[in-house]
Amino acid sequence: MRRLRRFGSYLLGKSDEVQDLDLKDLLMARVILEIHRKRVRKEFVYLPLGHLEPIHKLDRPNAVRVTEARVEALGPHRERLLANGRLTCDDLAEILPSVSWIKTVREDDQSYLAYEGNGRLAALHTVFGPEADLKVEVELYHFRKPKKILRRLNRLRRLNGLL
C-alpha cells in the first residue's frame, strides 16, 4: 500500500507532463517498474558528476522551463558546492526540490545511468560542467542480473538520440 501511495505521489508530481506521453515514455515507465521490482538493494553513494548519464532528452517545453529554473537556483550556490566538492541529498532537497532523489543504475565504473532526476542532472551539467570535480549523492540500485535492465535503459537512450 505504501508503494502505491509513493507511486501515486510520483505520478501527481509528473501530471503536467502526462499530455505529452509517447512510446518512449511507455518504455521508460516499463523499465522503471522493472528496476523497482528486480532490485536486490539500494544505497546512497557519492558519484562524480561526469559519470552520471541521462536516459532521455529534456526537449518538452515544460521540462526545458523547469531545467532553466533549476539552473538559476543553482547559480548562487555554485562556488560553495565546488569548494565542498560534493552535493548531498540535503543540498539537492534545499536547492533543487523534487519528488524523489536522483536514482541510478551502474553501467560500468565510469557510467551510471540516471533513470530519475534527468532535469536536475541537466541543470548540474549546465552550471558545473560534467568535468567538474564534484561528487553528487545519488540513490544507486543493485541487481543480481543487471544486463536486461541495462539493455532496456540503453535502448531508451538510443531512442532519445543519446547513444
Q: What is the mean pLDDT of each run of 10 residues along the chain (163 residues)?
A: 65 54 83 96 98 94 95 97 97 95 97 96 95 96 96 95 92
Domain contains 12? no
Closest CA to 155 of 115, 110, 100: 115
Does residue 147 sit within a domain? yes
Please say whether the beta carbons of 104 and 82 come within 8 A. no
Question: What single-letter DSSP state applies at residue 18?
Answer: G
Question: Residue 87 belongs to what domain range?
Answer: 23-159
- In the chain, what is the straight-line distance between the N-terminal and C-terminal CA atoms, in Å? 37
Q: Label residue 115 exposed, middle or buried (CB < 10 Å: 0-12, 13-18, 19+).
A: buried
48 falls within a domain: yes
Q: Is residue 6 assigned to a domain?
A: no
150 inside domain: yes
The pTM of the whole model exceeds 0.75: yes
Domain count, the chain: 1
